Amino acid sequence: MYLDFACGSTRCVILIGQYAIKIARFRPLRPFIKLFESIQKKQVRGNLEKHHRNPLLAVIKYLLAGIVANRTEYRLYKKYKSDLLAPTVFTIFWLVNIQRRGEPVVDERVKSHYLWNLFQGMETTVALDILQAKQFCFMGGCVRLADYGIDGLEFAIAEYPGNKTPW
């Protein structure tokens, strides 16, 4: 069993043995920093709308982004059991998710992933989020997406022909 740590934009991850323990981060100051940046760039409305049409819900969603991501990952894996995804096996009120651990993808193999190819060339927020090797991991002989707590991804997973095969 070996121990490692990683941090993403919304969660801190403890990698222990076969599991990745994904703990929601709270970023109380970050919404204000972002708001300040958006005011400077005169993009307040556009940036808020990326999170929700209602500005108040957008701020709340941004604050709780780690919990939202954990909830999305738990829900999507439970619903599709997709081979595309690193299995999320358990959640503690979406504050902490337990996922199967993979190895970092350090080479070209990430390009074999269905979602990598699907989003290739797109410039949407989802595509920019997905198209980073650190969001994927290598597990059981193939590449899987580890970070799927992303809004706007479900349609792509739902359409994938290889769903509902048991892990």
Ligand X SMILES: Nc1ncnc2c1ncn2[C@@H]1O[C@H](COP(=O)(O)OP(=O)(O)O)[C@@H](O)[C@H]1O
Q: Is 68 in the site for ligand X (CB under 6 A)?
A: no
DSSP 118: H
> Which stretches of the chain are assigned E, i.e. beta strand?
3-7, 11-16, 19-24, 88-92, 96-100, 103-104, 136-139, 142-145
Q: Is 115 in the site for ligand X (CB under 6 A)?
A: no
From 38-46, 115-123, 141-149, 152-160, span contacting ligand X (CB under 6 A): 141-149
Q: Name the pairing type of β-strands 88-92 and 96-100.
A: antiparallel
Closest approach of ligand X to the CB of residue 42, in Å: 28
Other Cβ atoms less than 10 A from the Cβ of 67: the count is: 21
Closest approach of ligand X to the CB of residue 154, in Å: 16
Q: Is 104 in the site for Mg ion (CB under 5 A)?
A: no
Which DSSP helix (H) or strand (E) runs through 67? helix 65-80
* Size of residue set near Mg ion by CB under 5 A: 2
Is 29 or 56 the residue whose CB approaches ligand X more closely? 29
Q: Which two tokens stand for residue 47?
A: 């940036």
Residues that bind ligand X (CB under 6 A): 6, 8-11, 13, 15, 20, 69, 86, 99, 101-102, 134-135, 137, 146-147, 149
